[in-house]
Amino acid sequence: MSKLDNELKLLKEEVVNMWTLVHSQLVKGLSALLNFDKDLAREVVMIEKRVNGAELKIDRDCENIFAIYSPVAVDLRLLLAVLKINTNLERIGDIADGIAKLIIDTDNCFKPELLESTKIVEMYHEAIQIVEEILAAFEKEDTALARGIFKRDEFLDEINRTANELITNYLKNVPQDIDQALNILSIIRRLERVGDQSENIAEEIIFYLEAKVIKHTSRKER
């Protein structure tokens, strides 16, 4: 294995480690939501500092590899993809951090009927599975798996599209829950963005492996 190959292998491991941190933020955030566990939510906020540190290190390592090895072809595409994936992962971490802070700022545990009527728990599970699947696509270098993300994200989009109506209908019957309902709506909006960031990562995996830019193509074309 050449020195460049070894550096790229280590870089991939760093990205996977960062991915694992971000995934843990989402999993802990869901548990904090369901159990109204503010301590666990605070743990999510603390993990965000580690995610930010990982992002900066990956950026520096990419810059060093560019400077020392002047990579070309697939190695160059990998570095370019990692730089963007790194940014998208950090943004997912920011989203998980924002959700945790909403839970911390909520006074009482979320009403089960509110969680059920908005389908937020299903949405949260799907967001976590999307992050898991796109990580598997990266580790296995599987573009078919990466393309599957575009279809799965439609579920998140659909819940997001109907969120206003669902929240409005709920508040007609339970108007006193307006603070909780608005926080749930904010969480739904954030989870939808997890799907968007995952789609961006899928595009970068496809670019790295197939040298195809699909950023501005439709889902059907992808």
Tell me the per-residue pLDDT of 195-216, one tens digit each, with 9 for 90 and over: 999 999 999 999 999 988 766 5
Q: In the CATH scheme, what is the code of domain 3-210? A: 1.20.58.220
Which of 105, 116, 107, 114 shows the shortest CA–CA distance to 181? 114
- In this prediction, residue 1 carries a pLDDT of 78
Between 12-21, 23-32, 190-199, 210-219, the lowest mean confidence (pLDDT) is in: 210-219
More confident residue, 61 or 219: 61
Q: Could you give the maximum distance between any two Cα atoms of the chain, in Å?
A: 66
Rounded CA gap, 72 and 65, in Å?
11
Per-residue pLDDT at 162 exceeds 60 = yes
Contact 101, 45 (CB under 8 A): yes
Distance CA(178)–CA(96), nearest Å, equals: 22
d(CA 105, CA 22): 21
Identity of residue 44: V
Give the pLDDT of residue 219.
57
The sign of the dihedral angle between the CA atoms of 40, 42, 48, 49 is negative
Instruction: Concatenate the DSSP letters of all residues of 128-190 into one string.
Output: HHHHHHHHHHHHHT-HHHHHHHHHHHHHHHHHHHHHHHHHHHHHHH-GGGHHHHHHHHHHHHH
160: which 2 tokens?
């997001």
